[in-house]
């Protein structure tokens, strides 16, 4: 398939993804939005009393936390991360970016997952997909009645529901790599226990760092992951081709 044809298909698919009425599983009182321009002060105030925890402190967790903090959606004292790293561990270099978040924003960092979970109202699951199940099993009782947002690729809402209590409200999101530099897009799907307020809280948080944040049926996650994950590579390829053409034409004249 030629690059031009691939780009056209990609553009058409993104256009379809933008048609919310085609994709959403259910109508909500709160519309699906690109919320960067639609967040009200009333909506953001919902987060004033919330504590947001991160299970895992890798690149995605750091990007999300830094994005929320730099956007002013959260304050440092509202954020707590949990992981195994420390200044004295063999992976001390991995702790350095976390230490910077502590120094700049004043976030809390702990090495006990259950401590983080107990202190948090909203918990982001940011560990590697293959350790989601064993990690959640250890602390699933602490998730009782909390909003849990999973960023783990390939782990479905059904799989998550099998290792947490029924009262746990689940939302699954899938960001793409450009979110690491504040230029990403993401989509999400909700578990049956997620309320309209849970959806609003998730939108207020995530739309502060994603250019587009849309709800889609979970059955489309694999296809959408391929599009949003590979889409930036297509755009980069097109830009490189245009740049090389410009250099060639400039050199030719």
Query: Could you tell me which of 85, 165, 167, 92 has the C-alpha nearest to residue 127?
Result: 85
Residue pLDDT, tens place only, 160-212: 999 999 899 999 999 887 887 778 889 999 999 999 999 999 999 998 888 88
pLDDT of residue 29 exceeding 80: no
pLDDT of residue 130 exceeding 90: yes
**Annotation: CATH topology of 42-243:** Rossmann fold (3.40.50)
pLDDT value for 3: 43
The angle subtended at Cα 180 by Cα 76 and Cα 17, nearest 5°, is 115
- Dihedral sign (CA 89, 150, 178, 182): negative
Greatest pairwise CA separation for the chain in angstroms: 70
pLDDT value for 105: 96
Residue pLDDT, tens place only, 6-25: 444 444 444 444 433 333 44
Q: How many residues does the chain have?
A: 253
pLDDT value for 236: 84
Element (H, E) at 216: none
Which tokens hold the place of 38? 């639609």
């Amino acid at each position: 398939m030629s690059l031009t044809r691939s780009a056209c298909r990609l553009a058409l698919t993104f256009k379809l993804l933008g048609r919310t009425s085609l994709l959403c599983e259910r109508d909500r009182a709160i519309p699906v939005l690109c919320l960067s321009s639609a967040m009200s002060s009333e909506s953001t105030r919902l987060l004033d009393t919330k504590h947001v925890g991160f299970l895992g402190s890798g690149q995605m967790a750091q990007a999300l936390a830094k994005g929320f903090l730099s956007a002013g959606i959260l304050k440092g004292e509202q954020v707590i991360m949990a992981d195994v790293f420390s200044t004295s561990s063999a992976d001390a270099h991995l702790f350095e970016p976390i230490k910077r978040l502590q120094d700049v924003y004043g976030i809390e960092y702990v090495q006990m997952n259950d401590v983080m979970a107990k202190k948090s109202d909203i918990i982001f699951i940011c560990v590697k997909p293959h350790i989601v199940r064993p990690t959640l099993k250890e602390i699933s009782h602490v998730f009782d009645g909390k909003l849990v947002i999973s960023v783990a690729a390939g782990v479905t809402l059904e799989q998550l529901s099998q290792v947490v209590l029924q009262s746990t409200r689940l939302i699954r999101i899938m960001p793409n790599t450009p979110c690491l530099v504040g230029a990403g897009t993401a989509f999400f799907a909700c578990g049956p226990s997620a309320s309209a307020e849970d959806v609003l809280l998730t939108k207020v948080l995530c739309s502060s760092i994603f250019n587009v944040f849309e709800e889609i049926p979970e059955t489309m996650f694999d296809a959408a992951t391929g599009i949003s994950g590979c889409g930036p590579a297509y755009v980069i390829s097109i830009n490189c081709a245009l740049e090389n053409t410009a250099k060639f034409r400039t050199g030719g004249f």
